[in-house]
């Protein structure tokens, strides 16, 4: 079983390429709150819905002091296609070797159609201004997730 992060723990540092090849690190967000979410695969229905929801909510989330970054195991080129095809405005990061997924507990055993498989556990983390996890959500649903996250954080729509 992959260990899961708990509120109050230091968020694992990361340094990953985005869809343009630029390196993005967790420390880039120092002094700001950031929502870090992990999704299974670019250009699949649930992941597209979730990424579009975050993109559509980005400006209002920023007004409430939150940045957003999505992480998947997809290659940067696929992420670039995903961004362009769906007009996404959030940073999309590539973690091909699953190091960051594992550090956040977003890779491991899960149930898929009644079978136990190893894969990406759709997860969302809110990291505070000091780099600590303030919220950790595992096995989230793609549809309606942003609205639920806003409610859980006490942010108005």
Tens digit of each residue's pLDDT (9 = 90 or more) over 92-119 = 999 999 999 999 999 998 877 888 889 9
Q: What is the DSSP string of 109-145?
A: EEEETTEEEEEE--EEEEE-TTSBEEEEEES--STTH
pLDDT at 66 over 90: yes
What does the pLDDT look like over 20-52, one tens digit per residue? 999 999 999 999 999 999 999 999 999 999 999
**CB of 120 closer than 8 Å to CB of 39:** yes
pLDDT interval class at 3 (50, 70, 90) = confident
Which residue shows structure tokens 């390429």? Answer: 17
Which is the catalytic residue, given 47, 61, 136, 146? 47
Pairing of β 66-72 and β 33-38? parallel
**CB of 132 closer than 8 Å to CB of 10:** yes
Q: Identify which of 88, 104, 19 has the alpha carbon closest to the alpha carbon of residue 49.
A: 88
47 is annotated as an active-site residue? yes
Compute how many other C-beta atoms are within 10 angstroms of the C-beta atom of residue 25: 12
């Amino acid at each position: 079983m992959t260990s899961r992060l708990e509120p109050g723990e230091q968020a694992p540092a990361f340094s990953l390429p985005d869809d343009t090849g630029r390196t993005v690190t967790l420390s880039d967000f120092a002094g700001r709150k950031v929502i870090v979410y992990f999704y299974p695969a670019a250009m699949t229905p649930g992941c597209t819905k979730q990424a579009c929801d975050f993109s559509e909510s980005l400006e209002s989330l920023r007004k409430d002091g939150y940045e957003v970054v999505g992480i998947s195991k997809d290659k940067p080129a696929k992420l670039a296609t995903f961004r362009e095809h769906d007009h996404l405005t959030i940073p999309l990061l590539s973690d091909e070797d699953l190091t960051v997924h594992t550090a956040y507990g977003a890779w491991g055993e899960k149930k898929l159609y009644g079978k136990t498989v190893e894969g990406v556990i759709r997860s969302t983390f809110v990291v505070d201004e000091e780099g600590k996890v303030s919220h950790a959500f595992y096995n989230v649903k793609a549809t309606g997730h942003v609205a639920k996250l806003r409610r859980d954080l006490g942010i108005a729509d």
